[in-house]
Structure 1
């Protein structure tokens, strides 16, 4: 797991290891509790880190989620900006990143902490779709279609994490492909 460091922190292996331990401890505790019920003391005990070390990096437990969201957002940005994708390639990259970060994204969604990440992801997917599918002179209604598509696509994942007992992952992937294809047919 890569960790984004706050400004001024050295890219020190100890910092990376500490943040990773705190993130993993948070995910472990989230298996049985909501984020509001997790204390710094409990988190530190689970991560085998003292409270003073925790407060060097974070001011509260939910700050770990913010750090994680920034990291996940950066990962998606790098993947999307490194190459031009068609709609199917974009979906494949997105599915791959989602599955690599399954626990974190799931806990963000289940704890209602995903809003900033969702906004960033929607914007990135929209910009990537515009760059890869549209020419410079584009009808505004095509941008509306891609905005609708990118927002809806991300929302399907958020919905799925809350309803995974009703919709399996393969169904989600197949449905998203159909949605993307149907929306792309609207472009002119």
Structure 2
């Protein structure tokens, strides 16, 4: 088991927070190492000990967010595993087992940035691909089913659409209410 150095964790958290703050007003390509270091209250040596450039910080932070998203997405599967069921039945999913919106709330500042009108669609597509890969993974019995690529994309956009609508309402609804909206949406989509 790898033990994390708390100083490194703290430093990276400060850098992530600084980057998130700067991204509210600037594009990633317009942020330089000096201003990121100033905002994070670290020196350039500390920055270069961990990263080569500002883009590396975003990439690492984005990967951390996506790992948390994937864990959140898979939470209902832990519940069905306990029940010894083979597949997740979207029609009978319990909203209390849904964790995607807990994840979004945890990283709310990040989502405010990637969903805002003034950022590149690159972030959206990275987010889209991360969610879509989960749909592909949990629907796979054998090989990837190319014929369902549009279904995977549709379901991905359904989830992202809920997140965007939540963002547009300034995240006013509770996480529990959003879980119910997701389950209702999945029920409509998967109705036969």
* TM superposition score normalised by structure 1: 0.70
Given candidates 108, 116, 120, the residue that maps to 2:130 is: 120
Alignment partners' CA distance in 2, 1:19 and 1:94? 24
Q: 1:72, CA displacement in angstroms?
A: 1.6
* C-alpha RMSD over aligned residues: 3.6
Aligned to 1:92: 98
Alignment partners' CA distance in 2, 1:141 and 1:59? 38
Alignment partners' CA distance in 2, 1:62 and 1:107? 15
After TM superposition, list the pairs within 5 Å mapping 1:51-130 onto structure 2.
51-79=44-72, 80=74, 83=78, 84=80, 86-87=89-90, 88-89=93-94, 92-110=98-116, 111-112=119-120, 113-128=123-138, 130=139
Alignment partners' CA distance in 2, 1:20 and 1:182? 40
Alignment partners' CA distance in 2, 1:46 and 1:53? 13
1:115–1:64 distance in 2 versus 1, CA, 3 Å: farther
Alignment partners' CA distance in 2, 1:149 and 1:89? 22
For the 8 Å contact 2:17–2:40, the answer to whether it is kept is yes
Tell which has more relative contact order, 1 or 2 (C-alpha 8 A, sep 6+): 2
Q: 1:14, CA displacement in angstroms?
A: 1.7
For the 8 Å contact 2:159–2:182, the answer to whether it is kept is no
Partner SS, residue 153 of structure 1: helix
Q: 1:65, CA displacement in angstroms?
A: 1.9
Gaps of 5+ in 1: 1-8
**1:164 matched to 2:157:** no
Alignment partners' CA distance in 1, 2:68 and 2:109? 15
Aligned length: 169
Alignment partners' CA distance in 1, 2:147 and 2:188? 13
For the 8 Å contact 1:68–1:104, the answer to whether it is kept is no
Instruction: Summarize deviations over 1:127-149 as a string: whole Å, max 9, x none.
Output: 33x37xxxx69xx7995685244
Instruction: Summarize deviations over 1:76-123 as a string: whole Å, max 9, x none.
Output: 333416613553447831111111111112223333324333312221
Aligned to 2:32: 39
